Amino acid sequence: MGCFVARSHDAIGILARHRTLLVVVCLTSLVTLWLCRLPKIKIYSPPFEIDVTGAPAAAEKHLDLSRADAPFISWPLARVCNEARWSPGIVFVCDNNSGGVGNIRNYILTCLRYAIEAGATGLVMPQIRTRAPDNLSSIMQAHQPFAYFFDEDHFRQSLGAACPQISIYQSTDHIPNAVNPFKVERITPRDFGPRGGCDNRGLNQHSDGFGRKFRAHVEEHAAEFNIPTPSPAHPRAYRLTWGVQFDWQTYRDGPEFATSYGGLLRFRADILKLGMQTAAYMREFAARQAGHTESQTFVGMHLRTESDALSNWPRFENQTRAYLERASSMDFKAAYLATGNSTEAAKLASAASSQHGLAVVTKDELLKDHPRELKALKALTWDQQALIDFVVLLEGDYFLGVNPSSFSMNVALKRHLKMDGLHTRPWKTGGDGDGRSWLVGSYEHYWKDWLFMYDSMWP
């Protein structure tokens, strides 16, 4: 009996070990299959490319997306493109933009997002509309190529990797099988869904249904005019109407998309380099103001008082008083001033020095002892020079801007990405900001004070 019991215990032990082994094998197989399904993250940062296989949070935890040269994270855009319903033969043209970099940047990104929702398999390389050099409010001048502001190679590479379904054409003349002359139809996305009495400046509340309603419109139009439906053999192109740049709810596709999508539009290499060099000179200037100590901290300011500023925006006195009081309370000794108004820049600098002991400098003043960089700066147009300011303001230790300037907003939202990178939560309007930026202005009315722009601007 004792031998029988011993053998029984041995048999039970063997069966238990077999079961344990079987559970381990099964779990290992499931984990292996799960890991194989994880997305491959491509981080583009010329001149090299890093491929990381693993959980997105682990791969991108420490990336600083607030910098002007931050890498582009492609998988959130790839996810949106993989979910799209594609319509071969539909081409979007995203050139009906105007204004400064904040407006133009947001127009191109919003237009492309609508193109993806429409299932467009073609995109004409966006162009940038310029303004008159002698009249800043004249913003509907001739177009310049995409490279007027942005890095075309970076855009092509990044969009191609994330959305291979979309072909990029240099112009409408390069669209295969396009008839001559080629007609581009105009559409207003918010028309594909009733507004319900909302303010016309507001966001499009029907973006989820845009693709379906747009395709139905295309088919109805083809039937009505007895023309072929779009196809590779019969392409049709669409241009969005002017003024739709603040139309799409940026966080509609998730925080990862909202915080990474703007990385498609990197400033062109020479402008980016000049901006970074100017920021380095600003650090040297700040160190001198601090008595050559290790401190190189500086505050960035955007004074928006140029001739095209709207009359109901905070005036020079409001901006100056708010900026100098806050900068002084934070014990800054040096400030970088971004403005296109040299007269009022001098007035602010004088008040800062006499009342607060704060040394204020502009890009022109920083580069006056650096002939090569100064020459490069002077070769740029007024709007291109603003890109230098944009880069330096991103590099500063704190930023003071004005609501509702799209330039100030864009800088503040981009700086906000330093908080949590890819998983940064939306900027909270008003109040004391996020500890990195603060914008003076009114925050009482969603429409009147342009607060809807915070919900529709891509960082």
Q: What is the pLDDT of residues 411-432, one digit of tens each?
A: 999 999 999 999 999 999 988 8
Q: What is the pLDDT of residue 133?
A: 79
Q: What is the pLDDT of residue 141?
A: 75
Q: What is the pLDDT of residue 53?
A: 34
Q: What is the pLDDT of residue 197?
A: 58
Question: Max Cα separation, the chain?
Answer: 109
Q: State the average pLDDT over residues 183-203.
A: 80
Instruction: Give Cβ neighbours of residue 199 (< 8 Å, ≥ 6 apart).
Output: 447
Q: For a pLDDT cut of 70, what percent of the chain falls above it?
A: 82
Q: What is the pLDDT of residue 55?
A: 42
Q: What is the pLDDT of residue 2?
A: 40
- Is pLDDT larger for residue 90 or for residue 98? 90
Tokens encoding 170 = 């240099």
- 149 burial type by CB count under 10 A (0-12 exposed, 13-18 middle, 19+ buried): buried
Q: State the average pLDDT over residues 132-160.
A: 88
57 close to 200: Cβ distance less than 8 angstroms: no
Cα–chain-centroid distance for residue 425?
A: 15
Pairing of strands 184-187, 236-240: parallel
One-character DSSP codes across 415-450: HHTTTTGGGPPPPPPSTTTTSSEEEES--S-TTTTT
- For residues 59 and 36, give the distance between their C-alpha atoms in angstroms, rounded to a whole number: 16
Question: What is the tens place of the pLDDT at every residue in 257-299?
Answer: 999 999 999 999 999 999 999 999 999 999 999 988 888 999 9
Q: What is the pLDDT of residue 345?
A: 93
Q: State the average pLDDT over residues 132-138.
A: 72
Other Cβ atoms within 10 Å of 343 Cβ, number: 9
Q: State the average pLDDT over residues 161-167.
A: 98
Instruction: Give Cβ neighbours of residue 114 (< 8 Å, ≥ 6 apart).
Output: 92, 189, 207, 210, 240, 244, 247, 248
Lowest-pLDDT range of 17-31, 118-132, 265-279, 375-389: 17-31
DSSP three-state, residue 345: helix
Q: What is the pLDDT of residue 62?
A: 67
Question: Is the pLDDT score of 203 beyond 90?
Answer: no
Which amino acid, residue 151?
D
Question: Is the pLDDT score of 30 beyond 50?
Answer: no
What's the pLDDT band for 60 if we cut at 50, 70, 90? Answer: low
Q: What is the pLDDT of residue 35?
A: 39
Question: What is the tens place of the pLDDT at every residue in 353-410?
Answer: 999 999 999 999 999 999 999 999 999 999 999 999 999 999 999 999 999 899 999 9
For the domain spanning 269-402, the CATH number is 3.40.50
What's the pLDDT band for 246 if we cut at 50, 70, 90? Answer: very high
Domain ranges of the chain: 66-264, 269-402
136 close to 307: Cβ distance less than 8 angstroms: yes
* Whole-prediction pTM: 0.85
Lowest-pLDDT range of 134-138, 241-245, 406-410: 134-138
Question: Is the pLDDT score of 435 beyond 90?
Answer: yes
DSSP three-state, residue 188: coil
Which amino acid, residue 225?
F
- The average confidence (pLDDT) of the chain is 86
Q: State the average pLDDT over residues 291-314.
A: 82
- For residues 268 and 141, give the distance between their C-alpha atoms in angstroms, rounded to a whole number: 21
Question: Is the pLDDT score of 107 beyond 70?
Answer: yes
